[in-house]
Amino acid sequence: MAAKKRRSCMDDLPEEVLQEVFSRVGNVKDLFRLAVTCRRWLCRFTDPAFLQGLWGEGHRAHLHGFFFQQQTRREGASVFEPTFLPTPGSPLRALASFDDGNFTHAETLAARRGIVLMQLAPRAVGTRLFDLCNPITGERHVLPPLRCSCFADVYTCYAIITAADSDLDAKKPSSSARFAFSQLLLAILTTDRKVNLHSYSAATRSWSAPAMCLDKVTHISPVGERSAIVHRGAAHWLWINNDNNVLYKLSTEVGKHPCVLSLRKLPQLRVGGSPLLCVGRDGQLSVACAYPMHVTVWTQHGEDTAWLRTAVIRLPMPTTLNQIRLHENPPHLPLEKWLDFDRGSMLVLHRGSTVSILDLDKKVVEKIMDDCLLPTFSHVFDQTRSVAYKMDLVKFFLLHLGGLCSGRRPTE
């Protein structure tokens, strides 16, 4: 008779205790190793309900932390190091990818689908050096130097493109396509008011020849986030005419060669406050204008239709901001920073206080972090770059581990 298989003490742990143990693991790679240890654990890590129990549901399951960095510069390099602040319950409490000394003078520029874009200290005058990495998957691309004749005093907009963005015909993109870096686009407004488009391809590992797409762009500049909204095969940025507050949408198709930029005026919008381009849950592009006490949402349902005001959302005022206003004489702005988060929602960072998510459809504000030690003084808060680190870990685990469930399984 075959010997009876010996059970370990871990096999006898109740589900709620097992979930508590896994929730304390602060490294995604370790969670992957645990997931493939045995069949029972693999089944748990391919169960959406179990994963949502680990990291929360909805917005909390996507937001894992922030990169903060004060933007005072000296001799072409950032004086202050980027710091990562994880959200409560985030499995990214330790980001080993940023501990190797290569990011000593790096600037965190943007992040999308877990991919972080950083600018490293230049090795030569007139060049820019970029690094793209995913702390979760370990993927990393150190891009060859980009030669730029107008290194200083320019505006740069970024677009991080994944393989799934250019594969619009794929109904179910593979796990590697959804989270793998494919292309980096840079729209650079030069000092002579021209907009050049630079493109780096992960397939060729090289920069394409820069395309001068727009000439003599006067009185307008980027507004809101410099990271593009990638939507339905195109990358979009919001620009503004500072003389009359008229908004423009700067766009380029993803994966199209040669690259072409188009600049479209949005004349129907009465903008103010802090405008931000976003995508609603209905899949339509929207512009959310944030004011101190409310947010207005404008949406266009079709390329040739007018932009209509679809929502006005009143905002609660955190107690800490009331205290700041009382102690500042006169009060100084900004008191908040607004970031695009996910379909139909926005992130708001309150100076010296909290981080919240505004759901544009439900018109509710959900507090995510409290007492997160954001700068209190307005001039420091204004000079602090804030980049949200977002990734759908539930879908990431299901896509990567789902094949093991249908094929070869780990041993018991």
Cβ atoms of 128 and 148 within 8 Å: the answer is: yes
120 lies in a domain? Answer: yes
Nearest to 288 by CA among 261, 264, 315: 315
Instruction: Cite the DSSP H helix spans in 113-191.
Output: 175-179
The pLDDT of residue 375: 65
Cβ atoms of 359 and 344 within 8 Å: the answer is: yes
Report the alpha-carbon angle 117-196-207, nearest 5: 55
pLDDT in tens, 345-381: 898 888 767 888 898 888 888 888 876 666 665 666 6
Rounded to whole angstroms, the Cα distance separating 281 from 118 reads 29
Cβ atoms of 140 and 150 within 8 Å: the answer is: no
Domain containing 133 equals 47-398
Rounded to whole angstroms, the Cα distance separating 404 from 60 reads 27
Rounded to whole angstroms, the Cα distance separating 44 from 47 reads 5
Rounded to whole angstroms, the Cα distance separating 194 from 217 reads 6
Instruction: Cite the DSSP H helix spans in 102-190.
Output: 175-179
pLDDT in tens, 141-177: 899 998 876 545 578 999 999 988 876 544 454 555 7
pTM: 0.84
* Residues in a beta bridge with 262: 251
13 lies in a domain? Answer: no
pLDDT in tens, 193-219: 888 899 999 989 999 888 877 877 888
Rounded to whole angstroms, the Cα distance separating 103 from 100 reads 8
109 lies in a domain? Answer: yes
CATH number of the domain encompassing residue 114: 2.120.10.30
75 lies in a domain? Answer: yes
193 lies in a domain? Answer: yes
How many structural domains does the chain have? 1
The pLDDT of residue 79: 57
The pLDDT of residue 2: 46
132 lies in a domain? Answer: yes
Rounded to whole angstroms, the Cα distance separating 255 from 167 reads 9
The pLDDT of residue 199: 92
The pLDDT of residue 96: 47
Within 10 A of 248 (CB to CB), how many other CB atoms are there?
Answer: 21
Residues of the chain with pLDDT under 70: 1-12, 26, 71-80, 93-104, 123, 149-153, 167-176, 270, 303-304, 317-334, 352, 371-382, 402-412
Output the CA torsion sign for 397, 403, 409, 410: negative
276 lies in a domain? Answer: yes
The pLDDT of residue 17: 82
The pLDDT of residue 228: 94
Helix (H, G, I), strand (E, B) or coil at 263: strand
DSSP string, 6-70: PPPGGGG--HHHHHHHHHT---HHHHHHHHTSSHHHHHHHT-HHHHHHHH-SGGGGTEEEEEEEE
